[in-house]
Amino acid sequence: MISTWSEWKRYPGAGRGGNIEAPITPGIYEVRIAGTGALHSFEAVENVAVALAQLQVGSKSWFSRRDAAKQPDLEYRTCATSSKADAKAAAERMIGRRETYMSGAA
């Protein structure tokens, strides 16, 4: 079973502080670049909160000491599911719909 997507939230970065608000259950997360809406990350995981906290760009975590000016401004949203299998199935359906849409738009 899949729930609904959360609202988009600003991803906390080095120098900005803040907390990640995400379920500690299986689910899907999507991270995008705030200014452009370009997809940054999308995955079905066992624990959404842990996955977002461990999200890395390059070889360093977002929570390490890095030059904040070099980090893109990110937003994230989450969708909880009852199991990782449900999360994977929902993610595959979403990817299929996105591919179908993009092939029709080309």
Is 1 contained in some domain? Answer: no
Which two tokens mark 103?
């092939």
Is 45 contained in some domain? Answer: yes
Is 54 contained in some domain? Answer: yes
Is 70 contained in some domain? Answer: yes
Specify the DSSP element, H or E, that contains 91: helix 84-105
Number of domains forming the structure of the chain: 1
- CB neighbours of 13 closer than 8 A, spacing ≥ 6? 62, 68, 71, 73, 74
Is 2 contained in some domain? Answer: no
Is 3 contained in some domain? Answer: no
Is 68 contained in some domain? Answer: yes
| 62-100 pLDDT tens trace | 555 555 556 678 999 999 999 999 999 988 988 877 777
| 24-72 pLDDT tens trace | 999 999 999 999 999 999 999 999 999 999 886 444 555 555 555 566 7
Task: Yes or no: say if 83 and 23 are a contact pair by the CB < 8 Å rule.
Answer: no
Tell whether the torsion through CA atoms of 13, 8, 49 and 78 is positive or negative.
Answer: negative
Domain holding 22, by residue range, is 9-105
- CB neighbours of 18 closer than 8 A, spacing ≥ 6? 10, 12
Residue 61 — φ and ψ, nearest 5°?
Answer: -75, 155
- CB neighbours of 90 closer than 8 A, spacing ≥ 6? 2, 28, 44, 79, 81
Is 4 contained in some domain? Answer: no
CATH number, domain at 14?
3.40.1440
Q: What is the pTM of this model?
A: 0.77
Q: What is the DSSP letter of 76?
A: E
